[in-house]
Amino acid sequence: MKVTKASLADGRDIIYYDEEDDAARRLVDTRDLSGAPTLHSEVRYDPLLKEWVAIASHRQSRTYQPPTSDCPLDPSTPERATEIPSYDYDVVVFQNRFPSFAQGVPPVLDRVDDEPLLVQKPGEGRCEVVCFSSDHNASLGDVSPRRMRTIVDAWADRTAALNALEEVSHVFPFENRGSEIGVTLSHPHGQIYGYPFVPPWTARMLASAAEHHDQHGTNLFEDLLHAEQRSGTRVVTASEHWTAFVPATARWPMEVHLYPNRRVRELPELDDAQRDDFAHVYLDVLHRLDGLYDLQMPYVSGWNQAPAGGDTLGAEHAYLHLRLLSNRRGPTKLKYTAGSESGMGVFINDVAPEMQAASLREVAVR
């Protein structure tokens, strides 16, 4: 894989990941970006839930569902310059122009309205965009296993780079697909968030893993994986290196978790065999999702991995895994986070996990 680094007109980083060593990319960004948005990102601590909330008002002006002809993630052409200066690419990563977290954001006062309970700090961190293909009309499920492997390598490379930043506490590569799930750009792409704190779900899972290890001397994630493997009723597909299953406690009408059969803590620790195998298993899962109702399944898919630094409670027990969820509960029905979910955080699933897994196993994969 060839890695080429360059800068956009406003100084943001852009990195090309190419499958051929002789790939030549156009690196000069000819746009005038002198009117770049001023970044106003801060995080405020909720003392009731003990969680950080990000406030990023500049994102209100971000690009929202533009026509295909104006997609900022397409390759540039002689007639139109985009976020990607090259006229073609395999996989490309660049800093988000409208980031939730960023480096060099303006300082803020330690308290909101000088109230001791209302703690705040700058929203320092980093947000990157990952384009999976130069084909605007493609989807991640359409790429080849080789391209999927390139994407995995890019995720791993950027995880290592962001973990090394002082302001980043946790790295989260993810993809949102489909307007039904809230996607604002239809080009096949994902994002990578470098949070300035450990997100609450990760913190809770690691705390549970630490407690489980103290009580039983084993790894909680590993024990859950082995339980699903022994049962088999919720396993969707499996290979030498990966197992994909619907968790027994699935919150969404379609939810699949992918675990490597050999525990690693973060993406950079995956070996070549695991990366190659993931490319095939993940594409198998995506094909099953799209074949279930014979339409493109909307989903959110993201990696849970160890925090940066390793000083978070339970971090030594982390187990890299991917969690994919969809709000589609039928060919014409969507699930919304309504009263119980939004108001109390209690999910009510209309589709039994065992039914989810069985329906996905029955899909004929191309």
58 is catalytic: no
Question: Which residues have a Cβ under 8 Å from the Cβ of 305 and sit 6 or more positions away?
Answer: 159, 171, 265, 266, 267, 318, 320
Q: How far apart are CA 312 and CA 316, in angstroms?
A: 8
Helix, coil or strand: residue 314: coil
Integer angstrom CA distances of residue 235 from 218, 261, 288: 22, 13, 13
Please give the DSSP secondary-structure letter assigned to residue 181. Answer: G
How far out from the chain centre does Cα 103 lie? 20
- Of the residues 170, 189, 317, 321, only one is catalytic, namely 189
Q: Is the dihedral of CA 185, 121, 317, 275 positive or negative?
A: positive
Q: How far apart are CA 165 and CA 103, in angstroms?
A: 10
Characterize the bridge pairing of strands 13-18 and 126-131.
Answer: unpaired
Residue 149 has which token pair?
Answer: 């492997």
The total number of residues shown for the chain amounts to 366
Q: State the catalytic residues.
A: 189
